[in-house]
Amino acid sequence: MRSFSMLAAVSLAALTAPAIAQAHEGHATTEEAQVKTYTAQQFFESTSYGVGSPSGFNFSPDGKYVLVNSDATGVFNAYRISVAGGEPVPLTTSSTNATFGASFFPDDSRVLFTADEGGDELNHLFVMHKDGTITDLTPGEKVKAGFAGWHADGKTFYVITNERDSAAFDLYAYDAATYERSRVFTNEGGFSISDVSPDGRWVALSKALSSANSDLYVADLSAAGAEPKLMTPHEGNVSYGAYTFTRDSAALIYATNEHGEFSQAWRYDLASGEKSSVVEADWDVAFLQYSPTGRYRVSAINEDALTAVTILDQTSGETVTLDGLPEGSLGSIRFDPAETRIAFTLTSDTSPTDIYVADLASGAATRLTKALNPAIDEDDLVTATVARFPSYDGLEIPGILYRPRGASAASPAPAVVLVHGGPGGQSTRGYSAMIQHLVNNGYAVYAINNRGSSGYGKTFFHMDDKRHGDVDLKDVIASKGFLQGLDWVADDRIAVMGGSYGGYMTAAALAFHPEVFDAGINIFGVTNWVRTLKSIPPWWGSFRDALYDEMGDPANDEERHRAISPLFHAGKITKPMLVVQGANDPRVLQVESDELVAAVRASGVPVEYVLFPDEGHGFRRRENRITASEAYLKFLDEHIGR
């Protein structure tokens, strides 16, 4: 697991060869020249939508409503929306803390939802009663909790919480009528709880051994005191993960890269221990799930930074075809209680995520929401392409390229190299208000997937292990040459930008390669690895060894961590920098940004600092996202121009 990742982008439509070629052409049409430009406020006045937990009941018991999450008010809250259409109805009304619906109750109008305080990531699980009153089901000062699914009978739901031990999540079973609970699994082995079988008998557990090696266990909750059983004995480095239990609770469907470069879906029979292949592809199987009875199997492939979803009717052997949908990517597929309809999300490069419902028999789909701000003409926005280049050592590096309309050899656009979070994240196709705002205002954006990124096989993924700030950074540096080779890019006006690990890469590029980029935007990036690796939140306990294996143990590798930390080399930074930080960030502490800003200012280099007192790792309040994007554009306009 790569623990410093930002929120992952949604993957979308496939790349064609002509799309790659178009990145190198230099032309502008009259239509492109007339594109309207929009403000950050207009982009972020679009609405963000999502659906409830994949392990929850996302349709109301009568099948008439879908549980969705939306930031329509500027702060995320839970809503219900009719499958017949109409405006979403708010279920929670927080004006401060991002709040997310997890599940309807299976037999009545109660709702489970989660919320933290100001982005501190200490989520609690709450229940909203029929009368609208709210109860915190996981109270405590430093408690982090989450919803873990329902028993098939609908009378019990499961919750994980670290209240017993801040570094370990235990599993509790809650009575759906009384909320009385019992601890059904005490996590004393450094496990991560992955899934609970529908019959409540089995729990799937994962355990990271290193950044490249892990194991899966199953524990029999019906046998008091039974030790977890290792289901993945192996030699060498193999990564495993749990997708889901089958609906009859007879098997666990799991992920493994044991058989090649990519993660495949395999079945483990709980009675016999036999294993068999379920879904194989030349890309990672991103997820796999079943409908309530198991009739339908949903699987998704992460295919070159896009997600391809298949819905298989296992009774007929036929694939479900959905009609009337625009080009885009499906996700978050949820079934109604009768398995006659699904709700799902659909997004594209030029349109934010919307909620749809579809009839499984006919395939007819209906759009329930319109997320894009009606003040924005979607035709003014830009479809991305996948573009690759040979890096400093000849290794092919992929990335997502956005070309502003009107950019040409005669009118080249300034450019931004955007580095994703991680380490080990992936930039994918899909809508980003931040990116579209920059592109619409004249900036080319190249979202690089440097070595160490996920999605391109385990060899590529591990190429940067204990070489962070070196080989991955060299890819970022080399990407400037790629952009300079495009005749529609202004080769003397190229900046670097990123958040979380990408923010670190930005600061590292400015410190260790000070003459390459013309400016940099560091969004809550690590600047002092010595401190950061020692201040890992306790609830990451089960992943700490794997992170240390990848990044290096601070007890032994402090010298290398100091050598790659921009803070200790801030005097080398000569190019302007913008730093943006959330004060409540538990992953990259505010002090990381405070100290870097002070050090760069002491050298007389232009540096701007935007600090949000009510945000954590990632900005969830609309007003703050607008402020941040306005700051990005203003900074770029000032230092690399349009």
Give the strand pairing for 577-582 and 520-523. Answer: parallel
- Residue count (the chain): 642
The four Cα atoms 400, 403, 409, 415 give a dihedral, to 10 degrees, of -70
Mean pLDDT to the nearest integer, 374-397: 97
Contact 139, 120 (CB under 8 A): no
Query: At residue 7, does pLDDT exceed 70?
Result: no
pLDDT for the residue 28: 39
Closest CA to 444 of 393, 392, 385: 385
Give the strand pairing for 111-115 and 124-128. Answer: antiparallel
pLDDT for the residue 545: 73
Closest CA to 102 of 72, 119, 123: 123
pLDDT for the residue 172: 98
Query: At residue 5, does pLDDT exceed 50?
Result: no
Query: At residue 12, does pLDDT exceed 50?
Result: no
Q: How far apart are CA 505 and CA 457, in angstroms?
A: 22
**Full DSSP string of 536-559:** --GGGHHHHHHHHHHH--TTT-HH
pLDDT single digits (tens) 166-194: 999 999 999 999 999 999 999 999 999 99
Query: At residue 119, does pLDDT exceed 60?
Result: yes
pLDDT for the residue 542: 59
Query: At residue 10, does pLDDT exceed 60?
Result: no
If one counts every other C-beta atom within 10 angstroms of the C-beta of residue 611, the result is 14
Closest CA to 159 of 126, 111, 208, 199: 126
The three-class DSSP label of residue 557 is coil
pLDDT for the residue 13: 28
- Higher pLDDT residue, 27 or 348? 348
Mean pLDDT to the nearest integer, 15-27: 30
The four Cα atoms 302, 304, 309, 315 give a dihedral, to 10 degrees, of -80
Burial (0-12, 13-18, 19+ Cβ within 10 Å), 545: middle
Closest CA to 518 of 488, 494, 498: 494
Q: At 34, is the pLDDT very low, low, confident or very high (cuts 50, 70, 90)?
A: confident
Mean pLDDT to the nearest integer, 440-457: 97
Mean pLDDT to the nearest integer, 204-227: 92
Mean pLDDT to the nearest integer, 352-373: 96
The reported pTM is 0.89
pLDDT for the residue 29: 42
Query: At residue 390, does pLDDT exceed 70?
Result: yes
Contact 436, 357 (CB under 8 A): no
Q: What rounded mean pLDDT belongs to the chain? A: 92
Contact 91, 78 (CB under 8 A): yes
Q: At 105, is the pLDDT very low, low, confident or very high (cuts 50, 70, 90)?
A: very high
Mean pLDDT to the nearest integer, 614-632: 95
C-alpha angle 218-255-66 in degrees, rounded to nearest 5: 90
The dihedral built from the CA positions of residue 566, 567, 569 and 570, taken in this order, carries a sign that is: positive
pLDDT for the residue 211: 82
Q: How far apart are CA 312 and CA 249, in angstroms?
A: 19
Q: How far apart are CA 27 and CA 432, in angstroms?
A: 25
Query: At residue 31, does pLDDT exceed 70?
Result: no
Q: Which tokens go with 13?
A: 């439509």
pLDDT single digits (tens) 143-168: 999 999 999 999 999 999 999 999 99
- Higher pLDDT residue, 22 or 536? 536
Mean pLDDT to the nearest integer, 407-431: 95
Query: At residue 513, does pLDDT exceed 80?
Result: yes
Query: At residue 551, does pLDDT exceed 70?
Result: yes
pLDDT for the residue 15: 22
pLDDT single digits (tens) 226-279: 899 999 999 999 999 999 999 999 999 999 999 999 999 999 999 999 999 999
- pLDDT above 70 covers what percent of the chain? 94
If one counts every other C-beta atom within 10 angstroms of the C-beta of residue 591, the result is 15
